[in-house]
Structure 1
Amino acid sequence: MDKKNPILKFGVPKGSLEDATEDLFARAGWKIYKHERNYFPEVNDSEMVLSLSRVQEIGGYVAAGILDAGISALDWLREMDLEDEVVQVCNLVYSKNSLRQSRWVLAVAGDSPYQKAEDLQGKRIATEVQHLSERYFAEKNVDVNIFYSWGATEAKVVEGLADGIVEVTETGTTIRAHGLRIIDEVMCSNPVLVANKKAWEDPAKRRKIEQLQLLLEGALRAESLVAIKMNVAKENLAKVEAMLPALNSPTVSPLQNGTWFSVETVVRTDVVRDLIPQLKEAGAEGIIEYTLNKVI
């Protein structure tokens, strides 16, 4: 495919999701090459051209057909009223530092009397997501004064500029570090693969978008899994097999002498550190653990 006539114009996030997105694409098979002061990185795929944009903007570019597809986020689609203006192909649950959703929360000073949203009737709320916050308070029939925060939103309460904030967090650590207390969750958000409606109807573009979906989802799924391989004597095989979780069932192959077997399976990363010593105790030998790029 000639780079002058690519199939897909694709938006990748710039900013807090930039490095995590680049790592995800690399595991999925796309190496992104960025250049200093350049918003059009290269990629090892002649069927795609990339545009580096703020995640807040990508949904709008896709809806308008400037981009065929891209990585947006649920919160910004809602904030910009774009939820029905693009095709939401799939959720991609990752964030800057983890594989968790981010949360927009309502927070107040730790020593304030406010315990719920209704307690903030008539108060000042600082946030980067005004429309989303307006919808949240309207659903609760709470009349507040919402104003836009250009940054350092947590400090607005500390400085006495606001009675509460609606702010995004992964763990709540930064909010607590500013002496604030979360009193409600406004919404959960995560990146989402979105497509322009006309692009989605184009067979070539849709094929490429679905390829991205398949491999990006596979790369995310692999993040929480590892593969382990071991040798097991015939007399210990049933005991070892019973200990092994798997996507389906372990792969068991006889070795040359017929009294030993090679056993291979996939397990969650949160259980493997406990599982390996147990397998060793059960008679497994030569245990190897290795990471996975994709699980389809």
Structure 2
Amino acid sequence: MKLRLGLPKGSLQEATFNLFKQAGFDFTIRSRSYFPAVNDPELEVVLMRAQEIPRYVNEGVLDAGISGLDWILENEADVVEVADLVYAKSTSNPIRLVIAVAKDSNIKEVSDLKGKRIATELVRVTQKYLKENGVEASVEFSYGATEVKVPDLVDAIADITETGSSIKANNLRIIATILESTTRFHANKDAWADPWKREKLQNMAVLLQGALRARSKVGLKMNVPGDNLDKILDVLPAMKQPTVSQLVHSDWVAVEVILDEKQVRDLIPALKKAGAQDIIEYPLKKVIP
């Protein structure tokens, strides 16, 4: 039996492949091929636009897929969320679907969009948001390069932003956020009801989430004089408790801990000052709680 999996081709492809590799799944793809080989004989992988994946998952053409919450909602796909995977093309932050207008526009808030023209790739999501806010406006599909259409072609756009840099670069101003979206590992309901496929999906989710969790953490090892151990433990954070082991034929101990990478810069000098020696920082592949 095989699990048929849809992965995004395009802007999210590299980040997705890197995540899967860290989780233990290596892909080999030939030029112009949409069917990469993978080092798991139980997987059959298809590359396609992220915009389409939820529809094919919903219809049962794919057992599961990776796509954003925004596209799941746009396709009105009735799927099972296997895991919320917080990563994007450039960052590890959620992306936002925002409404933006020209910087000098007299449109200040959503209510000012009444009777206006809005371009977006996410037509249904945008229409639903406007309806919920009691605004009647013309929402049209955009095939891309949406930012350049304001103000000559349309009055506003609803567009995805990850860092906000493209919005600013095109002299636009955000007036509202429609939704925040993260990448979702989602499955067809029939596939989820199949015991073998469900277990396969759950095991993959554990590995993918473990790989993501590891990206913000590192390991630290150090040797500490036994009489300095309490001083070291006072300054040492940890996911749970540090591992402490006695060095052979010595009154020194080895201390090992997993912690947030952002803590390390200030922590290592403090550990050195407290008496730690032979400090080693190392990257992690996966962190499974």
In the alignment, the residues of structure 2 paired with residue 127 and residue 59 of structure 1 have an alpha-carbon distance, to the nearest angstrom, of 18
- Matched residue of 1:56: which SS? coil
Work out which of the residue numbers 217, 222, 225 in structure 2 matches 1:230. Answer: 222
Residue equivalent to 1:204: 196
Matched residue type, 1:128: E
Residue by residue over 1:10-52, the C-alpha shift from the partner in whole angstroms, topping out at 9 and shown as x without a partner, is 1111111100000000000100111111100000011111111
Equivalent residue for 2:46, pick from 48, 51, 54 = 51
Q: Which amino acid aligns with 2:223?
A: N
CA distance in 2, matches of 1:280, 1:182: 47
Q: Which runs of 4+ in 1 moved over 6 A?
A: none
TM-superposition CA deviations, 1:40-96 (whole Å, max 9, x none): 0000011111111111111111111111111122101111111xx211111111000
Measure how far apart 1:220 and its partner are: 0.6
User: Does 2:212 align with 1:217?
Assistant: no
Instruction: Give a deviation string over 1:272-294, Cα, whole Å, max 9, x none.
Output: 11111111111111111111110
State the AA in 1 paired with 2:19: L
Q: How much has 1:163 moved relative to structure 2?
A: 1.2
Which residue type is aligned with residue 58 of structure 2? A
Match among 108, 117, 120 for residue 115 of structure 1: 108
Unaligned runs of 5+ in 1: 1-5
**Unaligned regions of 5+ residues in structure 2, if any?**
none
Q: Equivalents in 1 of 2:68, 2:160: separation in Å?
A: 12
Q: What's the counterpart of residue 98 of structure 1?
A: 91
SS in 1 for 2:35: coil
Kept in 2: contact 1:10–1:49 (CA 8 A): yes
**Separation (CA, whole Å) in 2 of partners of 1:17 and 1:188:** 17
Deviation at 1:7, TM superposition (A): 2.3
Amino acid at match of 1:165: I
1:163 aligns with 2:155: yes
- 1:188-238 superposed Cα distances (whole Å, 9 cap, x missing partner): 111111111111111111111111111001001111111111111112211
Q: TM-score normalized by structure 2? A: 0.97
Partner in structure 2 of residue 64 of structure 1: 59
Aligned residue number for residue 290 of structure 1 = 282
Structure 1: distance between partners of 2:183 and 2:26: 19
- For 2:126 and 2:64, how far apart are their aligned partners in 1? 27
What residue is the counterpart of 1:256 in the other structure? 248
Question: TM-score, length-normalised on structure 1?
Answer: 0.95
Say if 1:7 and 1:204, in contact at 8 Å, map to a contact too.
Answer: no
8 A Cα contact 1:123 1:144, kept in partner: yes
Deviates more, 1:174-183 or 1:107-116: 107-116
Q: For residues 68 and 151 of structure 1, what CA distance do their matches in structure 2 show? A: 29
Letter of the structure 2 residue corresponding to residue 123 of structure 1:
K
- Give the structure 2 partner of residue 3 of structure 1: none
Cα distance in structure 2, aligned partners of 1:148 and 1:203: 40
Aligned counterpart in structure 2 of residue 76 of structure 1, from 71, 78, 83: 71
Q: Is the 8 A contact 1:225 1:266 kept in 2?
A: yes
The residue number in structure 2 matching 1:127 is 120
- Show the 5 A alignment for 1:276-287: 276-287=268-279
SS in 1 for 2:51: helix
**3-state SS of the aligned residue for 1:198?**
helix
Pairs within 5 Å for 1:138-153: 138-153=131-146
C-alpha distance in 1 between matches for 2:57 and 2:74: 15
Which residue identity does 1:29 align to in structure 2? G
SS at match of 1:155: helix
1:178 corresponds to which residue?
170
Aligned counterpart for 1:137 among listed residues 123, 130, 133:
130
Letter in 1 for 2:243: T
* Aligned counterparts of 1:112 and 1:20: Cα–Cα separation in 2: 36
* 8 A contact 1:94–1:101 mirrored in 2: yes
User: 2:111 is paired with a residue of what secondary structure?
Assistant: helix
Q: Secondary structure at the match of 2:25?
A: coil
